[in-house]
Amino acid sequence: MALFGKIENLETPGDNIKEDMETEKVKVLIIGSGPAGYTAAIYAARANLSPVMYEGMQPGGQLTTTTEVENFPGYPKGITGPEMMTDLKEQAARFGTDIRFGYASGADFSQRPFKVTVDANKVIEAESVIIATGATAKYLGLEDEQKYAGSGVSACATCDGFFYRGKTVGVVGGGDTAAEEAMYLAGLAEKVYLIVRRDELRASKVMQQRVIDTPNIEILWKHQTLGLFGNGVVEGATLVKNKGEADEKEVKVEMDGFFLAIGHSPNSDIFKDYLNTDDVGYIQTEANTSKTNVEGVFACGDVMDNQYRQAITAAGSGCKAAMDAERFLSEQ
């Protein structure tokens, strides 16, 4: 994940770019970091494309909030998310990537060279652009989510479920994502509470039935989360049942992990005037490539992946993006 600015009421292409802004010409511009961005940088730099990368407001992306990564090949003893991102960053820099702190606040892909505004005060003119801005997990907005980040709160069951083998966890959400996360965790945890705000699931009928048929999943209907409690780590959640009704009551449920499964928001807003996206905002690419509908603009990582959202798949897509960019430039 990397956070990027959003331009409201963009009336004409590039109208956010002022004539007196400083400009710089580059061959390959990489917007965003994380496994996708850094891998793209490694491949682009080794191909002598002299890539310039702007890391975004959260250098390293979502993995910088993950305490332990055990499923990335090459780390048999595991590694923390921040350490892994430091390794990838150093590797990208070793091959000559110009890595900068800054965020993309606007874009004009109407013609080449493409123009990207950085920090609202500089324009990068790029022959090709690789977008690796990631996606942001949606949270409930509770202070406790930040308090226990990495200590019981997670937005990725596939990433962190392993740490809760034989334990009790809660999953918030009622859609397909929540049902899938609950099913995955049910294969690891002793008990899974599915915390559902309404009295029905929004998940597909097939997923609903699978959840209902899984013996160690208990659905807490019409429950909303008020907060979390625990001494340094999550030990339980404070919920309100039947909020706003005559029989409203507060309950405390003991659990070791609290998983958010209410969706992700791809960081693609500043590109939507030019790039095709799905209904949620994920950038659409040609099958088996990183190519967008704009020739010379490529997308990789979670900003275009609404299915897997794993570090390893993001890294692989970053490799694709760099190779696609190199081929594009060599043909010009």
Residues designated as active site? 156, 159-160
The helix (H) or strand (E) run that includes residue 129 is strand 122-131
3-state class (DSSP) for residue 112: coil
- Quickly count: other Cβ atoms within 10 Å of residue 290's Cβ: 27
Helices (DSSP H) in 102-163: which residue ranges? 143-147, 157-160
Cβ atoms 195, 223 nearer than 8 A: yes
Name which of 206, 212, 210, 214 is nearest 188 in CA terms.
214
Please tell me the number of Cα atoms within 13 Å of 293 on its side-chain side.
11
Name which of 280, 328, 325 is nearest 300 in CA terms.
325
Gap between the Cα atoms of 238 and 251, Å rounded: 6
CA dihedral sign, ordered 318, 321, 326, 329: negative
Please tell me the number of Cα atoms within 13 Å of 267 on its side-chain side.
27
**CA gyration radius for the chain?**
21
Please report, for residues 49, 133, 230, the alpha-carbon distance to residue 112 in angstroms, rounded to integers and kept in the order given: 17, 21, 54
